A and B are shown apart, each in its own frame.
Chain A
Amino acid sequence: MTTAAETRSYAAQLTRDTLIEMYRFMVVSRRLDERAWALHRQGKIAFHISAIGHEACQVAAAYAINRGVDYVFPYYRDLTLALALGSAPQDFLLGAFGKATDPYSGGRQMPSHFSSRALNIVSGSSSVATQIPHAAGAAFAIKYRLQRGLQAPDDATQPRLALTCIGEGSTSQGEWYEAMNWAGVHRLPFICLVQNNYYAISVPYDQQSALPNVADRAPAFGVHGVVFDGNDVLASYDALRAAVERAYRGEGATLAEAKTYRPVPHSSDDDDRSYRTREEVEEWKRKDPILRFGSTLMERGLLRQDDLNAIDAQARAEVDAALRDTLAAPDPAPEDALGAVYATEDTP
């Protein structure tokens, strides 16, 4: 198990511009997410599943890997990750409205099922944990290509690892155990980022596992384990960048556990008042990752309050514009339901 102190140096190497860019993605994600909640309450979209509270570890994950090149197998709560990898706010909204031009699925999947071949974001289902073996399989393919000489070791234009994200509830699934086992047996360039927000819908973490940390199970798979504060961008980046370096060096997989919290219900169909106190939620809101990272940037003298305000205003304008364009986009034709069942051509 790695502690944060051993890896502290990576975040220190991030430039001012990069730090601000990361902050900006977090704010855009939050404003977009809040807009989706509002659109749902207005009856304009049928469903929303939120990334609020998870922005820090997600933006750190995007910047720790080779963004848009390394394979990513996200889960439905990865809005900030998807945006930071290069997916546009409008892409998310087109999916939320089930538009024909939804780039993730053409209006077939529920919202937040991110997918982009150009960004190597691989399509996932709604069944939790199913994407973990796919990510391990992609990592297996990378190792295979390296061993067979089909890919040069240091070619940064090619994927060099596979990252998957899950909630802690997914670590109760057989998919997780089997995929982690493959990752260990084959020393795969693989990172499993568990965003442990302590609740799988309503079921608390102590009903998922008898262990205090998900990552305590890393030795059982023969992979590296690390636990970090998932609401702290810099701590998350340190831990995840170390995992990336290990993967790139051929030193195998990492089970990375971000401790975080979801201060909103599981989805637009959930009511979290039935399973946790308002006091608990309020306490976590004080640890909000955006407030914390904004304060850090101000303490370091990188940004002033005016700058934060300007970033916020810009994010709101960006979301407004994306929504305008989305509303003008066409719905799928009914018979579009019949298309793309079988691939006819093999694309390498």
Chain B
Amino acid sequence: MTEMTLIQAITAAMDEELARDERVFITGEDVGVRGGVFRATMGLIEKYGPQRVVDSPLAELSIVGIGIGAAVVGLRPICEIQFADYIFPAFNQIVGEAARFYYRSNGVWHVPLVIRAPYGGGVGGGLYHSQSVEAFFAHVPGLKVVIPSTPHDAKGLLKAAVRDPNPVLFFEAKKGYRSIRGDVPDGEYLVPIGPARIAREGDDLTVYAYGMMAHYATIAADMVREQDGIHAEVVDLRTLLPLDRETVLASYRKTGKALIVYEDNLTGGFGAEIAALLAEHAFEHMDGPIRRLAGPDVPGVPFAHSMQEFFMPNPEKIAHAIRDLAAY
């Protein structure tokens, strides 16, 4: 085991996949000599050269579009979108093209493509460096949407994404790039895309979360266990699409109470899908209101610290919501 930060695990995953498979290459803005604005690709151009770590023009549509073309004819691109906020110029290429290629060709052409993007707020990034965009893409069959919350999962899931024959959106909690640390096994391992992870076991209620909020939820669960004797189960979804419905439902059938935490805007966020799933398939186990703790319905995370902190869920807010629901 080696202790790593989230971003070190991501770099290690790309390093190993570049070494393993000659068809893998990276492209995106500043991924070359700069090593990415967050340093996720640091050292890779020195090791693998500019043919395999390719600085793209400043144009997200074609970072993805070129990746799709290279993928359908046999390469294995890893495309970096510098911030998830900048993914929208590529929206049609991802949703209209990558997601539909396999279906529209009746299973003839597939798109083995990874699109990495740092997402989320709490870093002073304002409206355009803080967005959570997963709900747009988790709505689209043909895509896979992965959001890890630990270095262990980030490395294993990213390696699995590179080997997946489908387009995978891999969203990385930028707030956790250096603040989330954890043990990573030495040597080769994969974490399969799909299954959720029980991050904390408990039987009083279930907290559903992913990415940065899954990390915060485990901190909050430890707080309320110690301070209040509340045993909250934390389900780290890890993959939003395809969703691990069995694990989601099994936990709820045990606890009968659900708190869903995400930092996207509340309305139409991914939490709504979890709530609908529980209401539809586990109604008879319901022992309280299904609650969502999310960002407010405003068009972005504001820049000023006071407003940013107001927007963002955090361990204290999650702990408060857990206590409230447990008391219901």
Contacts and interface: CB of A to CB of B under 8 A. Distances in A.
A137 B110 CA distance: 14
Contact of A343 (B66, B92, B107): B107
A141 B70 contact: yes
Given A138-B72, A150-B22, A347 B93 contact: no
Contacts of A140: 66, 69-70
B294 to A, nearest CB: 29
B59 A178 contact: yes
B92 to A, nearest CB: 7
Contact of B70 (A127, A130, A137, A346): A137
A343 B110 contact: yes
Given A141-B74, A340-B102, A348-B74, A136 B66 contact: yes
Interface in B96-111: 96-97, 100-110
B166 interface: yes
Interface string B305-319: 000000000000000
B69 A108 contact: no
A137 B108 contact: no
A137 B90 CA distance: 15
Interface in A304-318: none
A138 B92 contact: no
Given A108-B104, A125-B96, A147-B51, A137 B142 contact: no
Contact of A133 (B61, B105, B109): B61
Interface string B37-81: 000000000000001000001010110111111111111010000
Contacts of B110: 343, 346-347
A169 B137 CA distance: 29
Contact of B66 (A123, A125, A182): A182
A130 B112 contact: no
B288 interface: no
Interface in A198-226: none
B93 A133 contact: yes
A342 B66 contact: no
A341 B75 contact: no
A105 B73 contact: no
Given A71-B73, A122-B109, A179 B104 contact: no
Interface residues of B, number: 46
A342 B112 CA distance: 11
A181 B62 contact: yes
Nearest to A179: B62
A181 B69 CA distance: 15
B163 A346 contact: yes
A348 B163 CA distance: 11
A127 B94 CA distance: 13
B100 to A, nearest CB: 7
A159 interface: yes
Contacts of A343: 102, 107, 110, 112, 165-166
A179 B70 contact: no
Contact of A130 (B75, B93, B106, B142): B93
Contacts of A125: 96-97, 100, 104
B61 A178 contact: yes
B68 A134 contact: yes
A137 B105 contact: no
Contacts of A330: none
Contact of A344 (B22, B163, B165): B165
17 contacts: A71-B73, A105-B105, A108-B106, A123-B109, A125-B97, A130-B92, A133-B65, A134-B68, A137-B68, A137-B72, A174-B61, A182-B62, A340-B102, A342-B102, A342-B242, A343-B110, A346-B165
Given A117-B109, A122-B73, A133-B61, 12 more contacts: A115-B105, A117-B108, A134-B72, A137-B68, A141-B70, A148-B51, A175-B61, A178-B61, A181-B57, A182-B66, A346-B110, A346-B164
Interface of A: 71, 73, 102, 104-106, 108-109, 113, 115-117, 122-123, 125, 127, 130, 132-142, 144, 147-148, 150, 159, 162, 174-175, 178-179, 181-182, 185, 339-348
Return the 6 tightest CB-CB contacts between A and B, nearest first.
A137-B69, A133-B65, A106-B106, A178-B62, A134-B69, A340-B107
Interface of B: 22-23, 25, 51, 57, 59, 61-62, 64-75, 77, 89, 92-93, 96-97, 100-110, 112, 141-142, 144, 163-166, 242
